[in-house]
Amino acid sequence: MQSQIHLKLIEVNQRLKSAKTKVTIRESNGSLQLRATLPIKPGDRDVNTTKRKQYNISLNIPANFEGLKTAEEEAYELGKLIARQNFEWNDKYLGNDSLKKDFSTIGELLERFEKEYFKTHQRTTKSEHTFFYYFSRTKRFTNSTDLATAESLINSIEQINQQWAKYNAARAISAFCSTFKIAIDLSKYSKMPESNSRKIPTDREIYAGIAKFEYYQNYRGKQVNQNVQDSWQLWRWTYGMLAVFGLRPRELFINPDIDWWLSSENVDLTWKVHKNCKTGERQALPLYKQWIEDFDLRNPRYLEMLATTINKKDQTKHAEITALTQRISWWFRKVELDFKPYDLRHAWAIRAHVLGIPIKAAADNLGHSVQVHTQTYQRWFSLDMRKLAINQALSKRDEVEVMRDENGKLKGENERLKLEVEKLKMEILYKHC
């Protein structure tokens, strides 16, 4: 049926073109629209200073055979107005009055989003985290003054250039529409984009990265507010903790058990992740304990800075915690690290894999299931393992070459010593003769 309607739409547009109506018909989300170049709509900006702009006019005509007949009639009528230069933006073409009776703005629905969402979802730490994901992305990628229609929401998605951002926005808007029973088809955006290349730092690069914070402090200039001149130390500590434990950034800021971390009873040097975090409470073990000492991660001064920072924030609000996690990313860029905070978590997972730690143990330590662990990190494992295998092979080859060279030298030295011995024997023999 859809293909037949599509063919019929092509025929109608060909007739409109032959009649030189300067109007075409397009289908969008189950409705038909008229497309034409018209005088600038009241309240719209004349960006190109031509006093005209191409618009899609929705007349609430369904995309079926009967609707096509109606749309064709409307197209001819609009074409006549354009040809006679009698077109005016009225209620019929603006559609504001009729739409406002049936639709709220996106901003109005966002104000009710949390209350409506949790009518059908149990409120837990994980569901609150999920809701904030939906809410923040819907708010970020839409215009709050637009009417909450399928057309305007799809248009918002279409304005996004980056594929991952478009995919994430569609996921959030889908949940938004489901909550308010807005009929919308987002199947076009449901396919996950191919993974971007990710910079997974090596152990050596992670170790070198810690020094970049102090380097920044030494060369940043002198016009720094006295109140924040030492704040880099907190973010260097954060960097070190993410590297050592493979934590999610939030897990450092949500009710951290600072007393336990500094306690002499903490012989295994574990970091306690609070129950209010995404996947509940756990004790995370370090992979390299030596880094804790090398990075000075149990220095009480840094923990005091952490306590002061989180006490200024409302830890019950995801937005406040998100602001802190975004601050970490800002510092990574500030000190010119070429990887991101979450890459340290990926690096931990790969390091554990390379060291032969069982997947279940690694997954538990990172706070997710074995399935998530393998699905999320497997694509990085394969590349990293290939690199490791090649590097180890090259390293072994180099070792073999060195051993061969040394063996050759030893053989040469042995031959030289043999000659020396024979020479001495001959000299002794001649003396006795």
Question: To the nearest whole percent, how much of the chain has pLDDT over 90?
Answer: 36
Q: Give the range of the structural domain holding residue 19, as residue numbers without chain letter.
A: 2-102
CB 345 within 8 A of CB 242: yes
DSSP secondary structure string for all residues of 289-352: HHHHHHTTTT-HHHHHHHHHHHHTS-TT-HHHHHHHHHHHHHHHHHTT-SS-HHHHHHHHHHHH
Q: Are residues 229 and 331 in the same domain?
A: yes
- The C-alpha angle 74, 80, 81, rounded to 5 degrees, equals 90
Residue 8 included in any domain: yes
Higher-confidence residue of 378 and 224: namely: 378
pTM exceeds 0.85: no
Phi and psi angles of residue 182, each rounded to the nearest 5 degrees, phi first: -90, 115
DSSP secondary structure string for all residues of 12-53: HHHHHHHTT-S-EEEEETTEEEEEEEEEPPTT---TTSSSEE
Residue 38 included in any domain: yes
Q: Are residues 181 and 308 in the same domain?
A: no
Q: Are residues 247 and 338 in the same domain?
A: yes
Question: To the nearest whole percent, how much of the chain has pLDDT over 70?
Answer: 85
Ranked by mean pLDDT, the top range of 39-48, 84-93, 183-192, 290-299 is 290-299
Q: Are residues 391 and 297 in the same domain?
A: no
Q: Are residues 218 and 338 in the same domain?
A: yes
Task: Give me the mean pLDDT over the 359-369 stretch.
Answer: 89
Residue 198 included in any domain: no
Q: Are residues 40 and 164 in the same domain?
A: no
Residue 194 included in any domain: no
* Gap between the Cα atoms of 23 and 26, Å rounded: 10
Q: Are residues 338 and 248 in the same domain?
A: yes
- The C-alpha angle 245, 246, 250, rounded to 5 degrees, equals 100
390: confidence class by pLDDT, cuts 50, 70, 90: low
Q: Are residues 301 and 213 in the same domain?
A: yes
Q: For the chain, how many structural domains are there in total?
A: 4
Q: Which of 232-236, 350-354, 388-392, 418-422 comes out lowest in average pLDDT?
A: 388-392
pLDDT digits (tens, 9 = 90+) for 182-192: 888 888 888 87
Q: Are residues 301 and 208 in the same domain?
A: yes
* Average of per-residue pLDDT values in the chain: 83
Q: Are residues 6 and 37 in the same domain?
A: yes
CA dihedral 241, 242, 244, 245 (to 10 degrees): 100
Q: Of 146, 166, 189, which residue is a domain's last?
A: 189
Residue 327 included in any domain: yes
Residue 354 included in any domain: no
Residue 359 included in any domain: no
Q: Which amino acid is at 2?
A: Q
Residue 293 included in any domain: yes
Q: Are residues 84 and 16 in the same domain?
A: yes
117: its two tokens: 């969402």
Q: Are residues 207 and 336 in the same domain?
A: yes
Q: Which residues are catalytic?
A: 248, 278, 345, 368, 377
